[in-house]
Each structure stands twice: as structure tokens, then as C-alpha cells.
Amino acid sequence: MKAFYDKDFTLGIIGGGQLGRMLIQSGIDINVNMAVMDGDPNAPCRSLIDNFFVGSLLDKHSVLNFGKNCDVITFEIEHINVDALDELEKMGKKVFPSASILRTVQDKGLQKQFFLDNGIPTAPFKLYNNLDEIKSKADEINFPIVHKLRKGGYDGAGVNILKTADDLTDSFEQPSLLEDKVDFEKEIAVIVSRNEQGQIKTFPAVEMVFHPVRNLVEYLFSPANITSDISKKADDIAIKLAEKFDLVGILAVEMFVTKDGEVLVNEVAPRPHNSGHQTIEGNWTSQYAQHLRAILNLPLGDTETIIPSAMVNVLGEDGHSGDAKIVGIEDTLTKEGVYVHMYGKKVTRPFRKMGHVIILDRDQEKLHDKVKFVQNSLKVIA
Ligand SMILES: Nc1ncnc2c1ncn2[C@@H]1O[C@H](COP(=O)(O)OP(=O)(O)O)[C@@H](O)[C@H]1O
Ligand SMILES: [Mg+2]
């Protein structure tokens, strides 16, 4: 078995978006040879890497063709052809996280069933084949309830909160699930990593603050403002998931903290995650470096928080579509402890993730003030 520093070793990254881009930045640090594939010739990774291949992530042959020339294969996006990953595993390639984890996670129905089967606390749910089936059972449903597409949703796009049966009218037609609406106090996330030898480490939980209109993280802060009891529960759940999934790599675990101190898993993502960006500046090891350590079978890094941090997503300004233009970067950088990360996307759309800003401050209140400052000062317009 080749090590990552051996001649001719290649790490294949499926997906060339911002998560891949930051993974490459960490890969450069340890000088691992990498290749990337994405459907978009102008994907954020394009300008960072020579071995960039254009191909459809959903096409079995393109993924197979790309992966067969790599030694270890990972992905930074979940909407990819998982049959190709199965084949690559059969060819003896290391696919981390495994094809089977991705197959489960790609389908929110299978994912929820996995939680149930493995004693992972999660909100009660029911699966449906289509909207008519739900409508025909509308009188058995306790509204308000959460309607989720089983496949293909992201950034809240596959999630509807239904207040009454009337809201079913224009909800999702495709296979979906209805899930009890959790009256949560907070949403938190724990990123867990595990290497082939079974070493496991979790990052301290972070707390998410959602955009009031879109189901999208507006900002988050690290560490979460939770009791040590909640933090322990969240950690234990993340570790159990890593074990039950036989994870190699990282897994982001999104959780609800209920008003009576329960921790329920919302969903998981087997890849670097939006809720882990702040680890680049705020923790001893970043989620990207940790993912590489895990999949290259290296000892995992220290996950401890160095200093409290906040992460603000820089979203495309509402009402602006077209060639992206950043405004206010000079102003933003006048505040201390502010780090701008732009993803190099040429085109902006309302609420598109165009970059993020990490803010460091020992003082919680100052951290929140700086979040407001950054939100007001940095914009992406067309
Ligand atoms: N059962 C639920 N109860 C209350 N809010 C929910 C529930 N499920 C999802 N949400 C809200 O919707 C957001 C997006 O849902 P999620 O399942 O994480 O979808 P996505 O895959 O788009 O991230 C969650 O972060 C949360 O704010
Ligand atoms: Mg989510």
C-alpha cells in the first residue's frame, strides 16, 4: 500500500466546490498529490490545481474513470454517483468515507432509519412515496410538521415546514418524509473524525444561528454556549455514529438541543461541513487537515478550541444575479481578528454561498458585535 508521500500517489477529490478548495489548501501543506473532478469547468477548485477534470458527478462512467487513476478517493459533495464508488471499492481503491455511508446519507429516509436501528436519538418520522399518499392521510397528521425530500435537497431547499394541511398543496411530490417538528432551543453541530485504525476525535460543538427566511446558516459560533452535560451527550452521539458507520474521514453531525435538555440528531454529512470552517483559524487542527489525516491513515490532530470564533457566510446579495463583485473588503479587514475566505465563484445569485468570514475574539459580546459589523460591511453584488 502506497503512502501519500510515495511517488505516484494520488488523492482524488470528487467535487470542486469551496469545500474541495479548502481541502486542497490543506493538502498543499502536507504536499499530497491531488486530482479534482467537477461538472463545472469554472468550479472554485479550478484555479488551484493542475489535475482538474471536467465530468458529470452523477455519471457513473465519469466518476469511475476519474477514480480508477487515484489511490484514495474522497468527496466534498453528496450528490454524486454512488454506484461508481461501489465499483471503485471493488477494484481495491480506498473510498473514504465509504460508498455505503454515502448511500445511506444521500437518502434522508435511509438516514433516519439508520439512526433508529442504531439507537441514535432523532425526531419521529414516517416515509411517503408521493404527495398524494400524504394528502390521503392528512387527517392522521399532527400539524405543524416538517416535510423533507428524501433525496437531492440542500441548504434547506428540500425542507418545508407545514403549518396546516393547506400547506400540502404545493409541497414536494417526490418520495419524502414527514418528521415531527422539534421545538428546539438551539441547533448545534459536532464534527467527528475517525481513521482506519479506529482513532476517533470530536471537535467541540458549535452553535448555529439560522437565517429567518431561508433555512440556511447565517452565522455560527464556536464553542457552543451549552452545558457540559449537553456537550457530553452531543459528543457521545457523534462518536457512536462514527463507530456504527465504520467511518473513515469526517462526519458532521447536525443536532437539536430541546428545551428539556435532550439532544436529537437532525442529519449527518460525511464530508467537510459549513459548520467547521472556523476550525481553520479557531482550533488546533482544521476540519480539512483532520479529514486528510483520517483518510490518509495518519494520527488525528488536536481538536481543541484555541480561541472563541464566529463564522459568517457571505451570501450573494438578494436581488443580484450575474458577474460577482465583492464590496467592502477593505472596511471589513479593519477590525482585528477578522479573516476573509472567498470561494472564487464567478457568478453570484441571491443567497448563494460566495465566501465566509471567520472572526476571533475572547469576548463573546465583542464576537457578536463583529458578526453584525461583518454582515453590514461585506457584500457580494452583481
Ligand atoms: N424536525 C425539525 N424540526 C424543526 N426544525 C427543523 C426540523 N428539521 C429541519 N429543521 C430546520 O430546517 C433546517 C434544514 O433542515 P435539514 O434537514 O438540515 O436540511 P438540509 O439538508 O437542507 O440542511 C434545519 O437546520 C432546521 O433549522
Ligand atoms: Mg442541514
How do the domains of the chain map onto residue ranges?
11-95, 124-180, 184-381
**Model confidence pLDDT, tens digit, residues 103-144:** 999 999 999 999 999 999 999 999 999 999 999 999 999 999
Instruction: Decide: residue 127, CB within 10 A, 0-12 exposed, 13-18 middle, 19+ buried.
Output: middle
Fold exhibited by the domain 11-95: Rossmann fold (3.40.50)
Confidence of residue 364 (pLDDT cuts 50, 70, 90): confident
For the chain, give the percent of residues with pLDDT over 90.
94
Ligand 2 centre distance from Cα of residue 1 (Å): 36
Return the ligand 1 atom nearest residue 254 CA: 18
Distances (CA, A) of 15 to 18, 46, 158: 9, 11, 21
* Dihedral angle sign, alpha carbons of residues 65, 155, 354, 20: negative
Ligand 1 centre distance from Cα of residue 273 (Å): 15
**Model confidence pLDDT, tens digit, residues 321-341:** 999 999 999 999 999 999 999
Ligand 2 centre distance from Cα of residue 183 (Å): 16
- The pLDDT, as a whole number, for residue 157 is 87
Confidence of residue 154 (pLDDT cuts 50, 70, 90): confident
Ligand 1 centre distance from Cα of residue 191 (Å): 17
Three cell numbers at 266?
A: 437532525
**Model confidence pLDDT, tens digit, residues 256-285:** 999 999 999 999 999 999 999 999 999 999
Whether cis (ω within 30° of 0) applies to the bond prior to 44 is no
Q: Which ligand is nearest to the CA of 266?
A: 1
Return the ligand 1 atom nearest residue 148 CA: 17
**Model confidence pLDDT, tens digit, residues 7-56:** 999 999 999 999 999 999 999 999 999 999 999 999 999 999 999 999 99
97 close to 14: Cβ distance less than 8 angstroms: no
Q: Where does ligand 1 bind, in terms of residues with CB under 6 Å?
A: 123, 146, 148, 153-156, 158-159, 179, 181-182, 187, 210, 215, 254, 266-267
- The pLDDT, as a whole number, for residue 212 is 72
Separation between Cα atoms, residue 29 and residue 69, nearest integer Å: 23
343 close to 44: Cβ distance less than 8 angstroms: yes
- The pLDDT, as a whole number, for residue 209 is 85
CATH architecture of structural domain 124-180 = 2-Layer Sandwich (3.30)
**Max CA distance (Å), the chain:** 64
- The pLDDT, as a whole number, for residue 156 is 81
Q: Which ligand is nearest to the CA of 187?
A: 1
Residue 236 above 70 pLDDT? yes
Nearest to 275 by CA among 325, 242, 302, 238: 238
**Model confidence pLDDT, tens digit, residues 242-261:** 999 999 999 999 999 999 99
Average confidence (pLDDT) over 355-381: 96
Separation between Cα atoms, residue 293 and residue 194, nearest integer Å: 9
- The pLDDT, as a whole number, for residue 214 is 67
Return the ligand 1 atom nearest residue 180 CA: 1
- 184-381 CATH, one of 3.90.850.10, 3.60.20.10, 2.102.10.10, 3.30.470.20: 3.30.470.20
Q: Which ligand is nearest to the CA of 153?
A: 1
* φ, ψ for residue 155, nearest 5 deg: 45, 40
Separation between Cα atoms, residue 296 and residue 5, nearest integer Å: 10
Distances (CA, A) of 94 to 86, 267, 341: 10, 25, 31
